[in-house]
Structure 1
Amino acid sequence: MIPTEEMPEHRREFVESLRGFAQRECGTREQRRALTDDDRITHSPELFAKLAGLGWIGCAIPEGYGGGGGRIGDACLLVEEMAYGKVPLFGLGVSLVSSTVVERFGTESQKKDILGGVCRGEVLATAISEPGTGSDAGSMICRAERRGDRYVINGQKTWISCAHIASRILVLCRTGSGGDKHDGITMLDVPADSPGLEIRPIATLGGDEVNDVYLTDVEVGADRVIGTEGGAWHQIMRCLNTDRLMCGSMFLGHARRAFDDALDYVREREQFGRPIGSFQAIRHRIADLATELECCRLLVRDAARKLDLEPDRQVPREASMIKLKVTETAKRIAIEGMQLMGGAGYTLEYDMARHLRQSIVSTVYAGTSEIQREIIGRSYGL
């Protein structure tokens, strides 16, 4: 658990409320299996609506747009505790990350509409990747042609998280060209039920997480441009702090839970007349994982504290360190946890198999570990 004594009182109370919610709604393996159809469903609209009703989804969104007026640190705690509690709310982190660019670059009308929708429990997704453009997203070819006061979009997006449950999708597409491949990219707010927009789920180990999105002559008004035409890439870059911090917070929660589940097991499981956790080989492995987990916690807390104090501050090195360290650690803890639990960790009776499926891909999406290492290395002038 997070040492709450280091938090201000309002955040201690918030964390306790979040833990109580998670325990009530999915505190048992039976509840979680029922909510997720045996781990195939990653998002519960019913629980998302309950979070919205409690006012928690928009905890870090300004009050003027329907939120709670808190800071990024509050959102980090929300995402972390929901992940720790195994609450099936994959759309939560995706929506909060997607809303950041709207809050920073959207018009007043867009903020009230889109951010207000998120606070009310609508899922918001962002579509960047394409079949030929993953890490090199600046090479995207999905195009939007301006026709009077409308844009007509044609192209394909892929690996789009939560598109199948989203009310709207922020689609990055090419509207022009320039000297740099990252110029001429525009973000458009596209309703998910737009004629010509087709969403096809991609089957994965993790369940219903990602999708292909096909856009055929999809029309949206010019008033749906988020920020400036042709400037979407630079807008997205300004919001990567939040993206990577949120990802780190989510997988810090997953890592903590996988660690605690493994720890509980080695304390209780007996072999050769004693708990297996009492054997030095197991005890030392637990010590190493606990140390790595504490490093992750401190990285996340430090970045959240900095951004609480200076929301517009850019911390690209720290954000990439968080994405790299926390996801690699979450994956390691899940793999080690399965080894520590032996055959039990491989069964659906326990959550460890789900921990593994969730964490194994975390080092790939939202910027691979290799990309994060590049960013960190270049930040030192290399």
Structure 2
Amino acid sequence: MNFQHTEDRRMLADTLNRFVSEQYGFETRDRIARSPQGYSAELWTRFAELGIIGALFDEANGGFGGGGFDIAVVFESLGRGLVVEPFLDTLIVGQAVARNGNDTQRGLLGELIDGSRIAALAHGEPGGHYELSRVTTRAQRKGNAWQLNGAKAVVQNGEHAALFLVSARTDGDDDSEDGITLFLVPRDAAGVSVRGYPKIDGGRAAEVTFDNVTLGEESLLGAEGAAFTTLEYAIACGVLALCAEAVGAMDVAKDYTLDYLRTRKQFGVAIGSFQALQHRMADMLLEIEQARSAVVNAAAALSGQRTVRERAVSAAKYSIGRIGALVAQECIQLHGGIGMTWELPLAHYAKRLVMIDHQLGDEDHHLDRFVRLGRE
């Protein structure tokens, strides 16, 4: 199989890398990440104008990409700049709508792609511990409408999303794959409450509560009680995106560390000349290439058979969790005390690598899932 990027993907990567390096420097990123909004609406619009959001969706849904390698190319570049704009949830929500929405609902994709509307996934719940089928939020029929009750945790950019993609149980036990239904819920619907907070690695998230929220049939995404496969595929796209983002962040952290080893001197020589440190850098480089290979494998499997796809993305997420923590620790240790300072970009890359492990399932969760899928 040929894993070389097409000319279009190489051009996309070059364009995005150039834009991030020129317009999204560390000081700009730090200011945006710590702002009350947690992202830049102006830069979000500019990303859309460059076609970056459109690269995450196929032509049938208004984009010009949408494949596993398109997603990986975009998010690897975003990871290099620690971009905090809402690309991840736009991808997940958009893929769910594209896969299971009706004609009216798929009209939302144009607004996502042009950046005029922000949507957020509201799936994770307090105490859910990453299990995709764990849904305690309930939706009950009330005549021709639905009544939604429950709480969702760590909803990315929840304060500023105009629309939530909410998973709710309409039938079955709390851990059953059957009986999960997806709803598109407007942020301003009566009974929706949002409490926002800053994230440790920059940007903002929110706790979202639904208290007797009344929804019409038009809010239902796909068939009642049969949303698990749609949710699983959309989350797989998100896991691939996070893994690619981590590879981009690892590359930058590695480059910062190499530069430091070449310039920092002890006993009159650069510490990069010490053999013990050279060995540590060589080991880290090999681990990063292993992570990159895992991402390539997941990207290639994204459009394939379900079990193959899910095992590939779980294998990639496991690898990223382990290697991301290793890279963060090694880079900080090789920098010494300065590696922990807020003013040094490296500290923020290390923090982001650690936090990626906790999004959409951590290392332990995906290792267990990989093993379980192998038994099916």
TM-score (norm 1): 0.90
Q: Give the fraction of aligned pairs with identical amino acids, expressed as a percent.
A: 30
Alignment of 1:192-203 (within 5 A): 192-203=187-198
Please name the residue that 1:63 is paired with: 59
Please name the residue that 1:92 is paired with: 87
Shift of 1:139: 4.1
2:161 is matched with which residue: 160, 166, 173? 166
Amino acid at match of 1:32: R
Shift of 1:42: 4.8
> Given that residues 92 and 123 in structure 1 are in contact (C-alpha distance below 8 angstroms), is that contact kept between their aligned partners in structure 2?
no
Please name the residue that 2:27 is paired with: 30
Amino acid at match of 1:258: A
Distance 1:290 1:353 in 2: 19
> Given that residues 271 and 277 in structure 2 are in contact (C-alpha distance below 8 angstroms), is that contact kept between their aligned partners in structure 1?
yes
Please name the residue that 1:273 is paired with: 268
Shift of 1:293: 0.5
- Aligned: 1:242 with 2:237: yes
Q: 1:304 to 1:139 in 2, by over 3 A?
A: closer
> Given that residues 181 and 226 in structure 2 are in contact (C-alpha distance below 8 angstroms), is that contact kept between their aligned partners in structure 1?
yes
Aligned residues: 373
Distance 1:196 1:360 in 2: 35
Secondary structure at the aligned position of 1:360 is classed as helix
- Cα displacement string for residues 229-249 of structure 1 (whole angstroms, at most 9, x for unaligned residues): 111223222444323211211
> Given that residues 257 and 331 in structure 2 are in contact (C-alpha distance below 8 angstroms), is that contact kept between their aligned partners in structure 1?
yes
Shift of 1:16: 0.9
Shift of 1:311: 8.7
- Aligned: 1:214 with 2:212: no
* Structure 2 gap segments, 5+ residues each: none
Secondary structure at the aligned position of 1:138 is classed as coil
2:358 is matched with which residue: 357, 361, 364? 364
Higher relative contact order (Cα pairs below 8 Å, separated by 6+ residues): 2
Alignment of 1:1-382 (within 5 A): 6-27=4-25, 29-37=26-34, 42-89=38-85, 91-113=86-108, 115-121=109-115, 122-177=117-172, 181-307=176-302, 310=304, 314-381=308-375
Shift of 1:203: 4.7
Distance 2:37 2:281 in 1: 31
Secondary structure at the aligned position of 1:83 is classed as helix
Deviates more, 1:286-295 or 1:9-18: 9-18
Shift of 1:33: 2.9
Distance 2:293 2:250 in 1: 14
Runs of 4+ in structure 1 deviating by more than 4 angstroms, as ranges, are 310-314
Amino acid at match of 1:21: F
Amino acid at match of 1:243: G
> Given that residues 238 and 314 in structure 1 are in contact (C-alpha distance below 8 angstroms), is that contact kept between their aligned partners in structure 2?
no
Shift of 1:14: 1.3
Shift of 1:260: 1.5
Shift of 1:361: 2.3
Distance 1:44 1:361 in 2: 21
Secondary structure at the aligned position of 1:126 is classed as strand
Secondary structure at the aligned position of 2:64 is classed as coil
Shift of 1:367: 1.2
Shift of 1:171: 0.5
* Structure 1 gap segments, 5+ residues each: none
> Given that residues 33 and 203 in structure 2 are in contact (C-alpha distance below 8 angstroms), is that contact kept between their aligned partners in structure 1?
no
Distance 2:41 2:207 in 1: 21
Shift of 1:292: 0.5
- Cα displacement string for residues 20-65 of structure 1 (whole angstroms, at most 9, x for unaligned residues): 10111123x3333333348x87532221110111222021313343
